[in-house]
Amino acid sequence: METFNQFVKKKNTFLFGITITFLTFYILLPVLAFTPVLQQKAIGSITWVWVYSLALFIMTIVLCTLYVNMAAKFDKTAAAVLQEYKKAGAQQ
């Protein structure tokens, strides 16, 4: 069914995009932590490593919230696709 294929494509695009975003920022922390860039002081004695680490926590919360909101939409779309499938099966 075309609606099912569109649903799966939309869902996979969202999930892969959010996963790549998270992993990119997450993996950059250990890479950048030992460079002079993040060792500089940001505010007082706090270095940019701590600021970046805090940003990772904020990013995680934002991505989780975004995922929960999108999952609700995906559930509604999946239910609609399932209803269409059942209706198409009953007509045959």
**Separation CA 57–CA 81 (nearest Å):** 35
> Dihedral sign, CA of 32, 33, 34, 39?
positive
- Nearest alpha-carbon partner for 61 in 22, 30, 20: 22
The pLDDT score that the predictor gives to residue 84 is 87
DSSP state at residue 42:
E
pLDDT at 91: 66
pLDDT of amino acid 33? 81
> What local confidence, expressed as pLDDT, does residue 34 receive?
81
pLDDT of residue 92: 58
Question: How is residue 23 written in tokens?
Answer: 């992993």
C-alpha closest to that of 31 among 49, 57, 51, 55:
49
Low pLDDT (below 70) residues in the chain: 90-92
pLDDT at 90: 64
